[in-house]
Amino acid sequence: MQGIEHKVEGKRFRAQSQNLAPKTVRVMLHFTFMDKFTTASAYYFVFLRKGGTKVSHHITKAEIAMAGMGGQGVLTIGHLVANAALSVFENVSWFPTYETWQRGGKVYCCIILSDEEILSPMISRPEVLFVLDEPSLDDYEDSLVEGGLLVYDTTLIEREIKRKDIRVLSMPSAELAQGLGSIQVGNLILLGAYLADSKVLPMDIVESALEEMLKKGNKEGFLPLNKKALRLGFERFSGNGTES
């Protein structure tokens, strides 16, 4: 690694003066999005693969946006996906926006999972869009790319989807969550459905990330309910990608 780093640094960083100490330049080794780094990042990934730390998988990139209101767990499932993806993808970003409200308010996050460098963590046109309430559907329906996937809850969203050029994955997740004992796990039911449909992340990795997250927040008691919700969504769509 060391050799490669030194080889590239001079080209990537053109200091105005020759006085720039080489070691100071070394700080910038991670700045990978620019020109001359293509070769270096390729080596970098080879190195990782040889190290065997990454799980082999086929999907190399996913750009997901999630929207809803504060309290629905939009940021939480986004964060869960990002955490789980750490052991699968080379790069992960999770970008949240929320309003200064304790509950309610518009909440939105973008998650990018990629084996290549992530240029912008903010997305103009996501490939996958989770929508958990109707105002968010109004706000973001148009942003989805053509042929993109809309994942939404039919309990809280009653209106028809305007877009005809997208794929839809929908279920009454809030109602199903109530059936499990808590409306708060509706977000995980939708996530389970998406995981089954997209196969972007293996279920066991998401489950262990979920366990870790709940442990960190001292909420281990909720693990059985959360897992049940995730699996409910997953099993409903684990056939050929359409609801049975």
Partner 1 sequence: MGKKILLSGNEAIGYGAIYAECTHYFGYPITPQNEVIEFFAREFPKIGRSFLQADSEVSSINLVAGAAAAGVRAMTTTSSTAFSLMQEGLSAMAAMEVPCVVVDVQRGGPGAGSTQHAQMDYFIATRGSHGDYFNIVLAPFSVQETFEVIQLAFHLADKYRHPVIVLTDGILGQMEESVDLKTVEFEPLPEKDWAATGSAERGLKRNFVHNSPGILGFMTGDTYRSNMERCYDRYNKIKASEVLYQTKDLDDAEIILVSYGSTARVTARAQSEARAEGLKVGMIRPITLWPFPRDLIREYAEKVKGFIVVEDTMGQMVEDVKCAVAEKTEVHLVGFLDRHLPTSTGMILPDTVLSRVKALV
CB-neighbour burial class of residue 17 (10 A; exposed 0-12, middle 13-18, buried 19+): exposed
Does residue 105 belong to the site contacting partner 1 (CB under 8 A)? yes
Furthest C-alpha separation in the chain: 69
Minimal distance, residue 98 CB to partner 1, in Å: 8
Does residue 244 belong to the site contacting partner 1 (CB under 8 A)? no
Does residue 108 belong to the site contacting partner 1 (CB under 8 A)? yes
- Tokens 């939105």 correspond to 108
Does residue 92 belong to the site contacting partner 1 (CB under 8 A)? yes
Stretch that binds partner 1, among 26-34, 151-159, 178-186, 221-229 (CB under 8 A): 26-34
Tokens read off for 67: 């929207």
Q: Which of residues 8, 74, 76, 106 is near partner 1 by CB under 8 A?
A: 106
Nearest CA among 235, 194, 1, 241 for reference residue 81:
194
Neighbours of 238 (CB within 10 A): 17
| 165 residue type, one letter | D
Minimal distance, residue 63 CB to partner 1, in Å: 11
Q: Is the CB of residue 110 less than 8 Å from the CB of residue 121?
A: yes
Q: Is the CB of residue 98 less than 8 Å from the CB of residue 73?
A: no
Site for partner 1 in 34-73 (CB under 8 A): 34-35, 47-48, 51, 53
Minimal distance, residue 37 CB to partner 1, in Å: 9
- Contact footprint for partner 1 (CB under 8 A): 1, 12-17, 19-21, 23-24, 26-28, 30-31, 33-35, 47-48, 51, 53, 79, 82-83, 86, 90-97, 99-100, 105-106, 108, 118-125, 139-140
